[in-house]
Structure 1
Amino acid sequence: MYVPQKNITLSDPDTVVWKYLDLSKFLDLLLCKKLFMARADKFEDQYEGTFSEPTYGEMKKIAQNNPEFLNRYKTHREKVVISSWHINEHESYAMWQIFTQNSEGLAIQSTIGRLQQALASETKYEQHIGAVNYIDYKKEFIPFDDIFFPFLFKRKSFQYEGELRIISDYTKYGKTINDGVKIDVDINSLIEKIYIHPKSENWYKNLVIQLMEQLGFNFTIEKSDLESDILI
């Protein structure tokens, strides 16, 4: 299922996506060979998985004769899990600032095609990929004829995120979800390149390289554009 954001072609497998994370989360990914997906209602944004005001008005009309209608959508957030990625042809200074701390952390560079290949390893649970649409929640309508639509819309205040989401609905599996779940992924398909925090010390860069080698991975490590030398 694809819900395209304006100017983003999700049918293009070469569209570049990024995931910014700290070293512990990166090592967990490599050690477990599993991708963590967070429960939708655990995100910092309290509007996550909710509807805009025009949509809610329509839903309340339906709920007058069907009281369980709204409750079903509220509890549904507890059964949906999400892995967030950043769509951008280039590195993002803002993403380094938001998702890493103390000049440490990494960025995984991948593509939509690689995500699709990597997710093929997970055969038990169904995954969907979609780009987030950023709208005015006071004026614009969110369709509610698809269970994933509430999770593919966010307020315009978050537009800087340029977010792509891997989403899974665990309702039909009868599985209890705490903070999230881990799903099987092909790590070598998932990761095209690694960027180490541009402000990190050499010892940290060497540590990342050494740990990857010890775990049997040989990913290409690119120098951050933010480290580029001044030409004058």
Structure 2
Amino acid sequence: MNLEQIKPLRQTHSLLKVELVTCERNISGLNAHYNVSVKHGDSTTNFNIRAGDTDAVSYLLKWAEEVNLVRTERAVEITENVFQSFANDKILDDDTVIWKYMDFSKFISLLSTQSLWFARLDKNWEVDPFEGKVPKAHWETLIERILNTKFAPQFIGNGKVQFGGTPEIGMTQVPEAERKSKQIELQRDMYEAAIYNSYVTCWNVSTHESYHMWKLYCNHHNGIAIKSTLGRLKSSLGQNKNYSVLGGLVEYLDYENQMPARGEHPLTHVYCKSLPYSFENEFRLCLKDFGSINDVIGGHAPYSLTPEEIKSNLNSYSSGFPVKLDLSRLIESVVVSPHSDPWFFELVTSIIGAERKFSHSLSGLIAVNVASSNMS
């Protein structure tokens, strides 16, 4: 909102909040702005003013000073645990065995960076074109719910918006059909934008190795699998860091006919996959970009909630981010592919045991066991 739009509000509205927000980003980087709340009768309106709009900001702060309203600032939230459980109908024990299958180059990257790579969700379309898409039955149910909802009347005019009550002279009512159409469009944009603002890494839940996982994720003979547990994975991410990682089981669906069990959660579609991939039995970690500055994504990475804006600037978006973790906590053992040659087993063993060569990146891994596949 600009200065000319703010001035009329001062005559009719009470100022409730003036908050400087410096922890949100948009497509062009850091997006500092003032979040403002004003009240007229029973109606409260929120709007933003760009911090760079000096005239509007000066007018706003003078208004706040006259009514003895103290300007606040939004603090960056730091969670105690990096790992946060995704809303789930099935809770796994910490001793649940999990596997991460990868080729040799990704294994070396894991060791040298001490980081897990979280790939942007749309990158998975190369393997599964349904990845991150909203199941048809879920979307149709959501639309039906919006169409059957009775909204309070909305009025616009005189430079303001009012919900319910008696409108002032000069204000007009927004047609309910138009409001419902915009709500459906908003939901569609929210789901699509979440695909590009979500970064995931995937683990296989199983007490034993999987032939299909070896074939799918180790595209040649010389691959490895990290064997761990859910508890190890959680603790390896650490605590008191300025970001969080969601973790939960993936739900496998017939995208045409089935509803997800966790349909009320806004990230349900991020944790859904099509039935042909059910053999993966996936436990998914998701680094969700909510637009806040954090220690992984940083403060100047692009961020938007508008799919068209995101796609037009997609080259500016990272294909993924490395998330630091404690390998000594994460890795229980390293298993070599059943299709590998004998020399490859020796190579992996020597890398894990080379304390001098990898003393920095492999600190704490010297005791890790390297095993041949039980499928050999």
What's the TM-score once normalised by structure 1's chain length?
A: 0.89
Q: Name the CA distance, whole Å, in 1 between partners of 2:195 and 2:86.
A: 20
Between 1:138-147 and 1:69-78, the stretch displaced more is 138-147
Q: Name the CA distance, whole Å, in 2 between partners of 1:155 and 1:3.
A: 19
Q: Write the deviation string for residues 5-29 of structure 1: whole angstroms up to 9, x where unpaired.
A: 7xx641x111000011011101111
Contact 1:39–1:78 under 8 Å retained in 2: yes
Contact 1:3–1:152 under 8 Å retained in 2: no
Pairing of 1:113-132 with structure 2 (within 5 A): 113-120=231-238, 123-132=241-250
- Structure 2 residue runs without a partner (length 5+): 1-84, 147-179, 294-300, 303-316
1:64 aligns with 2:181: yes
Higher relative CO (CA 8 A, sep ≥ 6), structure 1 or 2?
1
Counting matched residue pairs gives 224
Contact 1:17–1:110 under 8 Å retained in 2: yes
Pairing of 1:167-206 with structure 2 (within 5 A): 167-173=286-292, 175-176=301-302, 177-206=317-346
Pairing of 1:2-41 with structure 2 (within 5 A): 2-4=86-88, 9-10=91-92, 12-41=93-122
Q: Secondary structure at the match of 1:101?
A: coil
Q: Name the CA distance, whole Å, in 1 between partners of 2:291 and 2:234.
A: 22
Pairing of 1:29-108 with structure 2 (within 5 A): 29-43=110-124, 44-61=127-144, 62=146, 64-66=181-183, 67-108=185-226
Q: Write the deviation string for residues 33-65 of structure 1: whole angstroms up to 9, x where unpaired.
A: 111001111103221112111111133453624
Between 1:49-58 and 1:88-97, the stretch displaced more is 49-58
Shift of 1:122: 7.7
> What is aligned with 2:273?
154
Q: Secondary structure at the match of 1:20?
A: strand
Contact 1:195–1:224 under 8 Å retained in 2: yes
Aligned partner of 1:64: which letter? Answer: S
Q: Name the CA distance, whole Å, in 2 between partners of 1:76 and 1:151.
A: 8
Between 1:193-202 and 1:211-220, the stretch displaced more is 211-220
Q: Name the CA distance, whole Å, in 2 between partners of 1:18 and 1:9.
A: 18
What's the TM-score once normalised by structure 2's chain length?
A: 0.56
The structure whose Rg is larger is: 2
Question: Residues 121, 208 of structure 1: CA spacing in aligned structure 2 closer, same or farther, 3 A cutoff?
Answer: farther
- Structure 1 residue runs without a partner (length 5+): 228-232
Q: Write the deviation string for residues 117-160 of structure 1: whole angstroms up to 9, x where unpaired.
A: 01116822201110111122222223443232111111211111
Aligned partner of 1:68: which letter? Answer: L
Aligned partner of 2:129: which letter? Answer: Q
Aligned partner of 1:141: which letter? Answer: M
Contact 1:121–1:186 under 8 Å retained in 2: no
> What is aligned with 1:224?
373
Q: Name the CA distance, whole Å, in 1 between partners of 2:88 and 2:228.
A: 18
Aligned partner of 1:53: which letter? Answer: K
1:164 aligns with 2:245: no
The percent identity for this pair of structures is 27
Aligned partner of 2:181: which letter? Answer: Q
Higher strand proportion? 2
Q: Name the CA distance, whole Å, in 1 between partners of 2:240 and 2:208.
A: 29
> What is aligned with 1:138?
256
Q: Name the CA distance, whole Å, in 2 between partners of 1:3 and 1:148.
A: 9
Q: Name the CA distance, whole Å, in 1 between partners of 2:107 and 2:240.
A: 19
